[in-house]
Amino acid sequence: MVNSEKKTLSGSTRVGLLDEIRGFAILCMVVYHAMYDLKYIVGLDVPIFFEGWFNIIRDIFAGAFIFISGTVCRYSSNNLKRGVQCFFIGMVMTFVLPFFTGGTILFGILHFMGISMMIFGLSEKVLDKLPALVGIILCVFLFMFTMNVQHGYFGFGGFMQLGIPSAAYNAGVLFPFGIYGAGFYSSDYFPLFPWLFVFIAGSYFGIYAKKGVLPKFFYPTHVRWLATVGKYTIWIYILHQPILYFIFTTIFR
């Protein structure tokens, strides 16, 4: 028991609760993609897919997944390498997916995660010049400031709004930042604005997690199978769509 506590305080022990939340989030993503496939590949009517509240739930779980992924970066010794690998897998899916589903992913969660890891890996020392709490508050501000880039502006709507030139949306190359034209389509899309700041906020939270100062119930594993899922999210993300595609095309031949 004493040895376990020392490991927690030294930061060498995983935060079990975060693995469990990440596992739950990736399972929710699998369910979401299953409904997407049923709607757009099989052609079944899935009314819940277009409910406004459902989109909010989707973004909450996606945000939790991104936040925890930022936290986990504090436990890696080479985030730049991890980011390159993740982005490479995302590009493989970009080229392979059209042959199976007819859809395309130009900047999905793997592209986003890869770039975010690389950004963090290259700027960690600079980011750490800010106290963790200040960094989290700043990230919240920047998330809100950039969340409307898809609608044509930076800012907060009514009282602080900075318009983005229409030429930027017609350029066709700024879609990784959430700036895209009318013809843009990606079946899975997580732009850097505003989601990068959720990732960076998670990395600041990871400072507290690694120091062992979070509430004690964060550290032990409560649901082992769910924590295991959380440790292998990238493989689940890579494999779940081909499996779903095989199942649905077999059933609804």
pLDDT in tens, 229-252: 999 998 998 888 889 888 988 888
Are 86 and 117 a contacting pair, CB within 8 Å?
yes
Percent of the chain with pLDDT over 90: 57
Asked if residue 112 has pLDDT above 80, the reply is yes
In one letter, which amino acid is 224? R
- Is the model's pLDDT at 100 over the cut of 80? no
Share of the chain above pLDDT 70, in %: 92
CB under 8 A, 24+ apart: contacts of 84-88: 84/114, 84/118, 85/114, 86/110, 86/113, 86/114, 86/117, 86/234, 87/111, 87/113, 87/114, 87/115, 87/118, 88/114
pLDDT over 60 (residue 1): no
DSSP run (H or E) holding 112: helix 109-127
What mean pLDDT, rounded, does the chain reach?
A: 87
Q: How far apart are CA 32 and CA 129, in angstroms?
A: 38
pLDDT digits (tens, 9 = 90+) for 194-210: 999 999 999 999 999 99
Residue 98: predicted pLDDT: 78
Give the residue from 166, 72, 147, 75 showing the smallest Cα distance to 113.
72
Cα–Cα distance, 88 to 163 (Å, whole number): 33
**140 pLDDT above the threshold of 90:** yes
| pLDDT-derived band at 72, boundaries 50, 70, 90 | very high
Phi, psi of 155 (to 5 degrees): 120, -160
- The span from the CA of 250 to the CA of 42, in Å, is 11
Q: Which two tokens stand for residue 110?
A: 């793997």
Average pLDDT over residues 79-87: 96
Beta bridge partners of 154: 162
- pLDDT, residue 131, reads 97
